[in-house]
Structure 1
Amino acid sequence: MANMENLQFPALDITGTNYISWVKNVELHLESLGLSDTVKENNTSTPQEKTKSVIFLRRHLDESIIYDYANMRDPKELWKSLKDRFDHQKDITLPLARDEWQSLRFQDFDKVMNYNSAVLGIVAKLRYCGETITESQMLEKTYTTFHKSHITLQQNYRLRGYTKFSELIVALLIAEKNNELLIMNYMTRPTGSKPFPEANALDTKKPVKENKTFRGRGRGGKTTVDVDECTIHKIGSHSSGSAQSNPLREKNTKEISPKSEKKLVSDAGTKGHWSRLCRTPAHLCALYKESVKRKEKEVNFAEHSEGTTHLDASDFVNDFEETAITEA
């Protein structure tokens, strides 16, 4: 394969399938280089111009084709030999291009740009083979191949009165981009849904808990603990009436686990234990107090019972003194 870095367009394939486009590209580039006369009959080109033209042609040939024409030094001879070998592509290309044009439909393409490329490629083949395709034919081909669900849309485009196929393609491309943006916005947040909050946003609607101090009437006060907020409040020891609600009873609504219930029982009757806060059943408190009373007895206390002998140290001391006096 020829060096792709030195190619201005694709090289001629050995099968000749791209011969039509290759010829057009060669004619344009030779004309830009001032070498277009080198491939014509009865030209008066200089040997230097002919050499440049041959080098350019061979550079844009497949490697397999280059070996077939390695001995040709005249660009006109090389050009004619390639035409005789591959020019029959018109007879092969024309029926294929006609079939492609007949089966071409706008509704078969998912993108407007793909449809535009297909139309221009088929039209180029037909025009090279001698078929004339006008702008009105290209417009009509597009209008009549819209999807059936877009009848109103194609009527609107038809009423606009486009005279060039390129103008219709531009309008379709703009509409396509707008529809993609509309669908993307809908999929991002469907109808009726709220936008997602930012990751670092603060919830300013969350209420802030405030500590309140309740004071009662009378002298002094009783200090109690708020179970929910662990704040200390002072409540008057003499209340004005029983109708006043007790904050401890209102806030202390949590269930007491077996472990905490055991702790409350063990603290019952001790200093600092709050009877109003304690929710231990009365019979458990009574049993605990009774067990405490039993523990108050002396640990080493032993009751006298029948069959037991009470020993005292004085008994042994007296016996020892009497024995000593007798021996003396």
Structure 2
Amino acid sequence: MANIEKLQFPALEITGANYTAWITNMELHLDSEKILDTIKEGNKTASHEKAKAVIFLRKHLDENLTHDYARIKDPLDLWKALKERFDNQKKITLPHALDEWANLRFQDFEKVETYNSAILRIAAQLEYCGKPVTEAEMLEKTYQTFHKNHYVLQEQYRNRGYTRFSELAVALMIAEKNNELLIKNHNIRPTGTKAFPEVNATDVKNPERGNVSYRGRGRGRGYGRGRGHRFNRGNERSYNPKGRGSNTWNRSDRGKGNEAQENPTRKNENVCYRCGSKGHWSQVCRTPQHLCKLYQETIRGKAKEVNLNEHFEGTTSTYLESSDFMDDVDEATHQDN
């Protein structure tokens, strides 16, 4: 049955794989409890202290090991028995640790943190086996196993003159994090791409307003007649399409502007008051005069419905749109040319 009481550190495995770490933790905890002398030769500690040490030792043994040494009541005898059984781990660990050290390469690890853990573990095993590794050897092992494409970085780190491996490990970890951030920013927006510009709300609501160049027919300089003249000089000026026969410019009413903002479906479009077509001004209108006259009479309500049907044969609706005049406009334009 597993120990119900919480252990201070991992118990000794039956294979003895963690014997080195176990004896280190055991000595520290016995010393903290002031019963470390119970496992030393020639000690004269009290019986209750020996009993406390034996209980602590058995508590941190594998269940099978506890059964093997159940009759031992002296902590010194139990300590010696375990040492005779598992102290040969040095001879078993040393060849494996030397092989790992010989094949250790910095370029084989994807993360600096993983390489740091591996080299420190191997160094600890070699030190336990009586083959300690110096700081200079750990630094040289790292420099010599850089990837061949990073030989410049290897020389840069070597020229910094690190004396402790921990300093080199910290510098490598910082460089790794900076590279990851650089790659992340590049993947978000690769080279050659450009962020979308911010949309101007005023331009969206009033696409026709702005600097619109216009070349008129007249020679003079006036509204709608000068060469290269610009419509809408100010942001507050707009053309009044309702003014029949007048090319005056009116200040836009702020109240109407608020209504336009409240009604987003309303669109500002250029409508020719001569022919009713959209997309051009009356100054550049090339619709034949008779069609313009017919349109003017239609919007005044003087034309009769039957006359419109007679003029537009095949038309079933008396409601006129600017597109109804486009065919005649094209024919008239062709004849003028």
TM-score by length of 1: 0.66
Supply the distance in 1 between the matched residues of 2:133 and 2:40 (Cα, whole angstroms): 29
The alpha-carbon deviation at position 65 of structure 1 amounts to 1.0
Q: Deviations over 1:209-251 (max 9, x none)?
A: 477416338xxxxxxxxxx978986449xxxxxx9533879xx
Which of 201, 205, 215 is matched with 2:244 structurally?
215
What are the within-5 Å matches in structure 2 for residues 259-274 of structure 1? 265-267=313-315
The alpha-carbon deviation at position 11 of structure 1 amounts to 1.1
What are the within-5 Å matches in structure 2 for residues 135-174 of structure 1? 135-174=135-174
1:19 aligned onto 2:58: no
The 1:69/1:195 distance shift into structure 2, 3 A limit, reads farther
The alpha-carbon deviation at position 280 of structure 1 amounts to 7.2
Residues 267 and 273 in structure 1, CA contact (< 8 A), matched pair in contact too = no
The alpha-carbon deviation at position 278 of structure 1 amounts to 4.4
What are the within-5 Å matches in structure 2 for residues 195-214 of structure 1? 195=195, 205-206=203-204, 207-209=206-208, 212-213=240-241
Aligned to 1:37: 37
The 1:36/1:202 distance shift into structure 2, 3 A limit, reads farther
Q: 2:245 is aligned with what amino acid?
A: G
Aligned to 1:246: 285
Where structure 1 has 5 or more consecutive residues not aligned to the other structure, the ranges are 218-227, 237-242, 250-260, 282-328
Q: What SS does the corresponding residue of 2:284 show, helix, strand or coil?
A: coil
The alpha-carbon deviation at position 50 of structure 1 amounts to 1.3
Supply the distance in 2 between the matched residues of 1:202 and 1:230 (Cα, whole angstroms): 19
The 1:233/1:68 distance shift into structure 2, 3 A limit, reads same
Q: Whose Rg is larger?
A: 1
Q: 1:140 is aligned with what amino acid?
A: E
Q: What SS does the corresponding residue of 2:15 show, helix, strand or coil?
A: coil
Question: Number of residue pairs matched?
Answer: 250
Residues 112 and 169 in structure 1, CA contact (< 8 A), matched pair in contact too = yes
Residues 51 and 73 in structure 1, CA contact (< 8 A), matched pair in contact too = yes
The alpha-carbon deviation at position 2 of structure 1 amounts to 3.9
Aligned to 1:75: 75
Supply the distance in 1 between the matched residues of 2:136 and 2:322 (Cα, whole angstroms): 100
The alpha-carbon deviation at position 166 of structure 1 amounts to 0.7
The 1:91/1:266 distance shift into structure 2, 3 A limit, reads same
Residues 272 and 285 in structure 2, CA contact (< 8 A), matched pair in contact too = no
Residues 139 and 164 in structure 2, CA contact (< 8 A), matched pair in contact too = yes
Supply the distance in 2 between the matched residues of 1:205 and 1:272 (Cα, whole angstroms): 33
Residues 208 and 269 in structure 2, CA contact (< 8 A), matched pair in contact too = no
Task: Determine what percentage of the aligned residue pairs are the same residue.
Answer: 53
Supply the distance in 2 between the matched residues of 1:61 and 1:5 (Cα, whole angstroms): 13
Aligned to 1:115: 115
The 1:84/1:125 distance shift into structure 2, 3 A limit, reads same
Q: 1:246 is aligned with what amino acid?
A: C
Supply the distance in 2 between the matched residues of 1:5 and 1:143 (Cα, whole angstroms): 47
Supply the distance in 2 between the matched residues of 1:34 and 1:276 (Cα, whole angstroms): 104
Residues 2 and 59 in structure 1, CA contact (< 8 A), matched pair in contact too = no
Mean Cα deviation higher: 208-217 or 29-38: 208-217
Aligned to 2:221: none
What are the within-5 Å matches in structure 2 for residues 230-309 of structure 1? 234-235=273-274, 244-246=283-285, 265-267=313-315, 277-278=324-325
Q: Deviations over 1:15-61 (max 9, x none)?
A: 11111111111112212221211111111221221122112111111
Residues 11 and 60 in structure 2, CA contact (< 8 A), matched pair in contact too = yes
The alpha-carbon deviation at position 208 of structure 1 amounts to 3.1
Q: 2:207 is aligned with what amino acid?
A: V
The 1:14/1:247 distance shift into structure 2, 3 A limit, reads farther
The 1:196/1:79 distance shift into structure 2, 3 A limit, reads farther
* Root mean square deviation of aligned Cα: 3.4
Supply the distance in 2 between the matched residues of 1:277 and 1:163 (Cα, whole angstroms): 90
Aligned to 2:296: none
The 1:153/1:244 distance shift into structure 2, 3 A limit, reads closer
Mean Cα deviation higher: 46-55 or 111-120: 46-55
Q: What SS does the corresponding residue of 1:6 show, helix, strand or coil?
A: coil
What are the within-5 Å matches in structure 2 for residues 223-234 of structure 1? 234=273
The 1:147/1:232 distance shift into structure 2, 3 A limit, reads closer
Residues 2 and 11 in structure 1, CA contact (< 8 A), matched pair in contact too = no
